[in-house]
């Protein structure tokens, strides 16, 4: 039977894995979250992934190895900046938001952010980032209507002064309507993006609450619930309710408890947590590097999740 808490010894193994063999960014974020490290250390490490145009790339998202700025990598940077609760005048944030403004693609159905630039096709990447034949990426991600738009809108509401009011309001309406049009049952990341939107209290209730109600209705029948499912990539309940304070947590109490128990038990002997996916033989010479970087990032994520849920017996805080 899996333990209800991560033991101090298991935490120590995870700490050593991140600090001794992980990415500099993950090590800096660990020190900030668990050992009183300065936020400046995280910002310094994040700068290594920033490009001159203000966007982020440089394999910040390990499944995309292109150096060019991408919405995908810039979204990951926003997650880290939000965790730090940086002010709106933080230069890394200002540059990222300004770059995102230039990446909006507008058509008759509204405005979306394509996940990755065309140049990324010529660099190693996971199969789901393939862009051939033309339009393949948009088909894979439903035209980008929910993912990444719903998450980006949610995160931009944390710093609304950086975005034109009218445009942010329009994007919010479009993201809401895209979610309410219905999410495909197997679209794990789409549900996670919508959950960020639903969990962002700054979004006006007339937009946020219908999304929250929709997700609370459909998610109990769609999230993973048993160990065999948690061991595979899919809609883990922790993806949509990463903290007990998330408004979806109450609707998912039992699967969340099971997911946390499985997370504790899934730690590898070296202290790490690894990805539940591979590149299925695409760019086989590069996947080991990406897998190692994911192992660093996912180990940090696991520790932050267990901390948020009070599942660490003891840390060095």
Q: Would you say residue 3 lies in a domain?
A: no
| pLDDT tens, position by position, 198-221 | 999 999 999 999 999 999 999 999
Report the domain count for the chain: 1
Q: State the Cα–Cα distance between residues 199 and 237, nearest whole angstrom.
A: 14
| Close Cβ partners of 42 (under 8 Å, ≥ 6 residues apart) | 25, 28, 29, 32, 80, 84
| 7-23 average pLDDT score | 98
Asked whether residue 250 is domain-assigned, the answer is yes
CB 233 within 8 A of CB 224: no
- Report if residue 314 sits inside a domain: no
Structural domain including 210 reads 8-308
Torsional sign, CA 259, 5, 216, 144: negative
**Mean pLDDT taken over the chain:** 96
Q: Does residue 19 lie in a domain region?
A: yes
Residue 317 lies in a domain: no
Largest CA distance in the chain: 56
Tokens of 104: 């909006």
HSE, side-chain direction, 13 A CA sphere, residue 69: 19
Is 2 within the bounds of a domain? no
Least reliable range by pLDDT among 16-25, 90-99, 101-110: 101-110
The verdict on residue 158 lying in a domain is yes
Q: Is residue 1 over pLDDT 50?
A: no
Confidence of residue 3 (pLDDT cuts 50, 70, 90): low
CATH of the domain at 292: 1.50.10
Rounded to two decimals, the pTM is 0.97
pLDDT digits (tens, 9 = 90+) for 230-247: 999 999 999 999 999 999
């Amino acid at each position: 039977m899996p333990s209800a808490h991560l033991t101090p010894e298991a935490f120590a193994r995870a700490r050593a894995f991140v600090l001794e063999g992980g990415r500099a960014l993950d090590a800096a974020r660990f020190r900030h979250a668990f050992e009183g490290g300065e936020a400046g250390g995280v910002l310094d490490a994040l700068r290594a992934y920033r490009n001159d145009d203000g966007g982020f790339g440089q394999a910040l998202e390990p499944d995309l190895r292109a150096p060019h700025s991408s919405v995908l990598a810039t979204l990951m940077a926003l997650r880290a900046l939000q965790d730090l609760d940086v002010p709106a005048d933080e230069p890394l944030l200002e540059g990222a938001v300004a770059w995102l403004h230039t990446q909006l693609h507008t058509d008759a159905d509204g405005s979306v952010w394509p996940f990755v630039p065309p140049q990324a096709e010529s660099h190693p990447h996971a199969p789901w980032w393939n862009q051939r034949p033309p339009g393949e990426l948009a088909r894979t991600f439903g035209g980008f209507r929910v993912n990444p738009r719903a998450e980006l809108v949610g995160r931009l509401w944390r710093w609304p002064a950086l975005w034109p009011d009218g445009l942010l309001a329009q994007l919010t309406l479009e993201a809401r309507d895209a979610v309410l049009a219905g999410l495909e049952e197997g679209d794990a990341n789409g549900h996670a993006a919508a959950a960020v939107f639903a969990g962002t209290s700054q979004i006006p209730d007339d937009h946020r609450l219908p999304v929250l109600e929709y997700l609370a209705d459909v998610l109990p029948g769609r999230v993973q619930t048993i160990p065999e499912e948690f061991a595979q990539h899919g809609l883990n309940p922790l993806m949509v309710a990463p903290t007990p304070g998330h408004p979806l947590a109450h609707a998912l109490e039992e699967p969340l408890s099971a997911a946390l128990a499985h997370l504790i038990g899934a730690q590898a002997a070296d202290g790490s947590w690894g990805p539940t996916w591979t590149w299925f033989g695409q760019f086989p010479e590069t996947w080991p590097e990406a897998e190692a970087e994911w192992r660093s990032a996912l180990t940090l994520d696991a520790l932050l999740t267990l901390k948020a849920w009070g599942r660490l017996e003891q840390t060095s805080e």
